[in-house]
Structure 1
Amino acid sequence: MSETPQPPALDRELHHPTRLALAAYLSACGEAEFAVLRDYCQVSDSTMSKTLSALEKTGYVSVRKGYFGKRPRTWAALTLTGRRAVERHLAALEEIASAARRAGTETDNP
């Protein structure tokens, strides 16, 4: 008897589009300022703050607060755990897409 293949393991913490966009952006840079992330994800300050907090709780993001001149600033960076999670999540998404393409090809050629 053959085993039923397991579905690819999507990461629940990265499944939400804003979390995934944030993590993907951070995977391409060392660190980014809060406003840059907010603007990139096209969300409000509140939503970005909640997103960063959620990913920080999972250990995927580290948050650093400081000042630029006299103005307070917040920077975020993807942790090694976060980088690995993004890689696994993207690999799972690619596997889902590849399986769908294979299935579509099989049904087109009876």
Structure 2
Amino acid sequence: MSTAEFNETIHAPLRLRICASLASVDTLEFGALRDELQVADSVLSKHLKVLADEGFVALDKPTGRGGRPKTWARITKAGQKALAGHIAALRELAEMADLGGTLPAPAPAERT
């Protein structure tokens, strides 16, 4: 079981959906992921780059016989761990809300 930890990178709605989609498969072709999420190529590409830069997603463009190479995406072990921790943190928040609990106050901003 992973530790509950909110992850700012994964929290963006589309990136959360990307990670969830990739968590259920070994790899997914860019076009299939784009169609599943119903977003433009440029939007998906931008979010995949953010996730790849964090080490949460690996992208592969195998060279094939002629034609345009296809991009394949997969979630990494670090991505799986971050996703599981983020989902656990969201569940904790949902449980607090269901129980009528109070959320912890945010840390005060530092003055510079």
TM class by smaller structure: 0.7 to 0.9
Long gaps (5+) in structure 2:
102-112
Residue in structure 1 matched with residue 57 of structure 2 by the alignment: 61
AA at the equivalent of 1:59: G
User: Structure 2 vs 1, CA of residues 68 and 17 (structure 1 numbering), >3 Å: closer, same or farther?
Assistant: farther
Matched, 1:82 2:76: no
* Structure with max Cα Rg: 1
Structure 1 moving runs of 4+ over 6 Å: none
Moved more, 67-76 or 38-47: 67-76
Where does residue 43 of structure 1 map in the other structure? 39
The CA deviation string for residues 51-101 of structure 1, in whole angstroms up to 9 with x for no partner, is 110000000000000256533100000000000000000001111101100
Report the secondary structure of 1:90's partner residue: helix
Equivalent-residue separation in structure 1 for 2:96 and 2:35 (angstroms) = 34
Bigger strand share: 1
- Partner in structure 1 of residue 106 of structure 2: none
Aligned residues: 97
Identity, in percent, stands at 39
Cα shift at 1:36: 1.0
Greater Cα shift, 65-74 or 12-21: 65-74
Ranges in structure 1 where 5+ consecutive residues have no aligned partner = 1-7, 105-110
Q: What TM-score results when the alignment is normalised by the length of structure 1?
A: 0.82
Cα-Cα RMSD:
1.5
